[in-house]
Amino acid sequence: MSPALKKDNDMSAQETGFTLLHDPLNNRGSAFTLAQRQQQGIEGLLPQAVDSLETQVARIHLQLDTLDSDLQKYLLLSDLQSRNQTLFFAVIMSDPATFMPLVYTPTVGEACQKFDHFYRAPRGVYLPITAKGRLKELLSHWPQKDIRFIVVTDGERILGLGDLGVNGMGIPVGKLSLYTAVAGVPPELTLPITLDVGTNNQQYLDDPLYLGLRQHRVRGAEYDAFIEEFVQAVQALYPKSCLQWEDFANINAVPILERYKDKICTYNDDIQGTAAVALAGIYGSLRISGQKLTEQRFLFMGAGSAGTGIAELISEAMVLEGLSIEEARARCYLFDVNGLLESTRTDLADFQKPFTHQHAPCKSFVDAIESIKPTAIIGVSTVPKLFNQQVIEAMSRINERPIIFPYSNPTSRSECTAEEAYRWSNGKAIFASGSPFPPVDFNGQKFVPGQGNNVYIFPAMGMAVLATESTRVTQAMFIVAAKAVAEQVTQASLDSGLIYPPQSQILDASLRTAAKIAAYIFDQGLARVAKPADIDAHIRGMAYKPMYA
């Protein structure tokens, strides 16, 4: 249990009595002992039986089994988190492989789309642009004063679903739940935030139940000033915090990261976390194919911040293996709605130009495959079914083991399914996707598709930053994380096609990854605390455990 959590004997007077049963950090519900009930003035407010935490977890499992849809299960778990955080995390951590898809992708996508209709209890902080000049005041209303991790969104590009406005709050809430469930970051140190700058989604503007500002999105200098005020407020109130930017549109995501990455402890999970989990998948794939990273050629379907972020991290990893950055970038090609990024295009953003190469104009993805002859295709387009049978068959003709990564999520936006990739490649594909797919039986072999989920990266990064109080999050730290994830995949998993550690063991995997990142942070002089004799033991000792004190 984290030292920050209150113990039985130091609960303040304000936390006794009826209010205690409505404090998610300290509420135990039916697990309060008879002595505690008498001491805290809640005797008679609960049924007489005293449950163990294990019994409470079993009861929640039973309740979930009676529900018909994943969205209903998400809502039940959300309500549980609002009233008893210890029990919530005990449930999630009892079976992470089952519960991660319920509290985050893919279920969180539908939950965000319907957030305003299902709104129940407040969670996190909402900062509207109409409150500019007072953001520090609004932030100070949050009761916890030692915040180490903030996940913030402006709701403009939620997963592959687009502009959801304040309905996107489900993403920061879900991400921070995984910081705790997957890597042991104490939940009281986390804060989800939504910046409400309006929405351009007319469906929500017309919906009487929409909970955000009823105006179109603010752009330009006013938006930039709002972001700057927000960053300054965070730094003033929470100087040890790490700020994670989440689901911002490309036009804002890239400039924000460039503006602050060398000034504060911050990163963008869509750009850097996605890149690291893709690189981890590539390292795992190379353990199957027996090839070197510098021998690979990559073609991306999608040329936004995620695609360029993956391409840049791959390039930087190739530099560590002997290539120049120019040679490395020349092995990464990007394709978008207007075709291949090549030198005659005049519609490209600055962040895309490093991956714009001399090549004839090409409007067909299959033609691009035939011309470039990539060893891997990576989908970050958020457009479903773009990796069709022609695409997979073309990749399989030119590669003995083609790497097929449809990373768009939720599941409805995936560029292809696992079954399609294995069937159309005649079982040759090395496959991973952004959303989960079940095992596939093909030609007498059982393939276990991996999920290239950022959950392998950002929680471990968070625990490493917490353990070291790092002043920065750097690109190199993501390469360290990717290698650490790939190293943990067993040969048995590789033999079944699985290139990521099994999600059933993700807590242990994340803590191992966090230790590798932390070691790098200490070695680079980025830590604000002394290096412990045993980094792994230090991290495991800090990790949150869902139990009543």
Kindly tell me the burial class for residue 68, based on how many C-beta atoms sit within 10 Å of its own C-beta (0-12, 13-18, 19 or more). exposed
C-alpha distances (whole Å) from 439 to each of 399, 418, 486 are: 23, 8, 20
Q: Mind listing the pLDDT tens digit for each residue in 368-414?
A: 999 999 999 999 999 999 999 999 999 999 999 999 999 998 888 99
Catalytic residue among 175, 261, 483, 516: 175
Spatial distance between the Cα atoms of 507 and 48, rounded to a whole number of angstroms: 35
Mean pLDDT check: name the lowest of 119-123, 348-352, 384-388, 534-538: 119-123
Supply φ then ψ for residue 447, to 5 degrees. -100, 135
Identify residue 420 by its one-letter amino acid code: E
Percentage of the chain modeled with pLDDT above 70: 97
Catalytic residue among 73, 74, 104, 261: 104
Spatial distance between the Cα atoms of 549 and 546, rounded to a whole number of angstroms: 9
H-helix or E-strand spanning residue 80 = helix 70-83
* The pairing of beta strand 339-340 with beta strand 332-336: antiparallel
Q: What is the pLDDT of residue 436?
A: 87
Mean pLDDT check: name the lowest of 11-25, 245-259, 424-438, 502-516: 11-25
Which position has the higher pLDDT, 159 or 354? Answer: 354
Q: Mind listing the pLDDT tens digit for each residue in 186-199?
A: 999 999 999 999 99
Contact indicator for 415, 386 with CB cutoff of 8 Å: yes
Supply φ then ψ for residue 291, to 5 degrees. -100, 175
- Establish whether 104 is a catalytic residue: yes
Mean pLDDT of 76-104: 95
Query: What is the sign, positive or negative, of the torsion defined by CA atoms of 339, 340, 346, 347?
Result: positive
Q: What is the pLDDT of residue 120?
A: 85
Q: What is the pLDDT of residue 296?
A: 98
Contact indicator for 444, 511 with CB cutoff of 8 Å: no
Mean pLDDT of 132-160: 96
Q: What is the pLDDT of residue 11?
A: 45
Residue 323 structure tokens = 């290539």
pTM: 0.92
Q: Which residues, in sequence order, are CB contacts of 77 under 8 Å at separation 6+?
A: 64, 88, 91, 92, 99, 102, 103
Identify residue 541 by its one-letter amino acid code: G
C-alpha distances (whole Å) from 469 to each of 97, 111, 182, 194, 367 are: 29, 33, 19, 24, 49
Q: What is the pLDDT of residue 16?
A: 64
Provide long-range contacts, Cβ within 8 A and 24+ apart, for 418-427.
Answer: 418/447, 418/449, 420/387, 420/389, 420/392, 421/387, 421/392, 422/447, 424/389, 424/392, 424/393, 424/396, 425/392, 425/393, 425/395, 425/396, 426/396
Q: Is the pLDDT score of 8 beyond 50?
A: no
Binned at pLDDT 50, 70 and 90, residue 159 comes out as confident
Q: What is the pLDDT of residue 18?
A: 87
Residue given tokens 């959590």 in the structure block? 5
Identify residue 129 by its one-letter amino acid code: I
Q: Is the pLDDT score of 468 beyond 70?
A: yes
Residue 458 structure tokens = 């950002």
Q: What is the pLDDT of residue 229?
A: 98
Spatial distance between the Cα atoms of 226 and 256, rounded to a whole number of angstroms: 12
Percentage of the chain modeled with pLDDT above 90: 92
Q: What is the pLDDT of residue 540?
A: 97
For the chain, give the mean pLDDT. 94
Supply φ then ψ for residue 376, to 5 degrees. -145, 140
Spatial distance between the Cα atoms of 39 and 8, rounded to a whole number of angstroms: 10
Spatial distance between the Cα atoms of 85 and 129, rounded to a whole number of angstroms: 31
Q: Is the pLDDT score of 4 beyond 90?
A: no
Contact indicator for 470, 145 with CB cutoff of 8 Å: no
Binned at pLDDT 50, 70 and 90, residue 491 comes out as very high
Binned at pLDDT 50, 70 and 90, residue 15 comes out as low
Kindly tell me the burial class for residue 466, based on how many C-beta atoms sit within 10 Å of its own C-beta (0-12, 13-18, 19 or more). buried
Angle at 500 between CA 495 and CA 504, to 5 degrees: 100
Q: Is the pLDDT score of 366 beyond 90?
A: yes
- Establish whether 204 is a catalytic residue: no
Q: What is the pLDDT of residue 106?
A: 86
Mean pLDDT of 251-256: 96
Q: Is the pLDDT score of 6 beyond 60?
A: no
DSSP string, 203-246: HHHT-TT--S-SSPPP-HHHHHHHHHHHHHHHHHH-TT-EEEE-
